[in-house]
Structure 1
Amino acid sequence: MKNLESAISKYHSIKIKHILPPPKTMPVLCFDSKIMEVLEILKTRHHVWVIDCKEDGKLIGVIRYLDVINFLMPPEKHSMFIGNSKKAFVSAFSGAETAGDVMEKSAVTINHEKTVLESLEKMKNYNLQLLAVVNDENRLIGEISLRILINKFLELCF
């Protein structure tokens, strides 16, 4: 049991930047990328990070797999609730053409200097399994998922 306690303590203090997968493995598109490029990525991934390529990779949004439902449905089939964003009105039928047209602007981020424990807390607070990892200039440098965190924990235990 002592080894497990030691592993957990060490695990919680690891900085995110030390366990990030290579950036080239991330699904990333520019704000002005065509919607068909988004759909191509979403055939095999659960999300696409949207960056401003003119601002050297500044993160501006995310498109999740389930967000495509809104894009594919005609606007009259969308359920509307008080507080709905313009996203509910964006579909192939209403002229959405780029990643920027369909992205969610409130991607949850975490700074690369934060720890595993801070990542877990943020995931729990926002009920997410994935966070965008940004540097001090809010540029996307990686992503941290619950799967990555589980793998790192198991690596420390065995």
Structure 2
Amino acid sequence: MDVEAALEKFHSLKVSEIMPRLDTMPIVTADSDLLNVLKLLRTRHHVWVVKDRESMKLVGVIRYMDVIDILLPPESHRFKLGMTSRSMRSLLGGATKAEDVADRHPLTIEEEATVLDALIKMRRYKAQVLAVVEGERLVGEISLRILIDEFLRLLRVGGAQWKG
């Protein structure tokens, strides 16, 4: 298998075939204490927020970079017109739970989508990770790291050689 054939196979894979198991993903419930979320973000780039473990309804995502807003005082978010929604995402602005700071519009993709669909969406929105959903239910995630790992695995398994 050459690199072109490996890429073709890679692009046609379903997201559901390569996404990690739910129990390995960084997931918290909406009512999770914000300090516990911060502890998770010391070693993860994001944390998914779900309504509860039973429904797994996706509420949002908290990214590593969001920690800056959480730690800044509310005044640092103010504009001439007063408080912004970001100021409410600060610990000093009253945020105490995961749902208080979660981005309520996480990028999602259906589990039957292909790797090519995921790559196109990632490029369009400059995102490194997508929530894999079935309706409103979080069923997995797909990240650039997972995609790189899978492509390299395909190359090794297929014995592809770079011609360059």
Q: Do both share a fold (TM > 0.5)?
A: yes
Aligned to 1:140: 138
* Rg larger in structure: 2
Aligned positions of 1:44-63 closer than 5 A: 44-53=43-52, 56-63=55-62
Take 2:90 and 2:100, find their aligned partners in 1: how far apart are those partners? 9
The answer (yes or no) to whether the contact 1:110–1:132 under 8 Å persists in 2 is yes
CA-to-partner distance for each residue in 1:20-52, whole Å, 9 max, x for gaps?
111111110111111111111111111110001
Structure 2, unaligned stretches of length 5 or more?
157-164
State the percentage of identical aligned residues: 48
Q: Choose 53-62 or 20-29, whichever is displaced more.
A: 53-62
2:92 is paired with a residue whose SS is helix
Take 2:47 and 2:133, find their aligned partners in 1: how far apart are those partners? 15
Take 1:5 and 1:151, find their aligned partners in 2: how far apart are those partners? 17
Q: CA deviation at 1:89?
A: 3.2
Aligned to 2:129: 130
Take 1:52 and 1:97, find their aligned partners in 2: how far apart are those partners? 16
Aligned to 2:89: 90
Take 1:79 and 1:117, find their aligned partners in 2: how far apart are those partners? 40
TM-score norm. by structure 1 comes to: 0.91
1:121 is paired with a residue whose SS is helix
Aligned to 2:160: none
2:2 is paired with a residue whose SS is helix
Question: Residues 85 and 3 (structure 1 numbering): CA distance in 2 closer, same or farther, change over 3 Å?
Answer: farther
Alignment RMSD, CA only?
Answer: 1.9
Take 1:116 and 1:6, find their aligned partners in 2: how far apart are those partners? 15
Structure 1, unaligned stretches of length 5 or more?
none
Equivalenced residues, count: 155
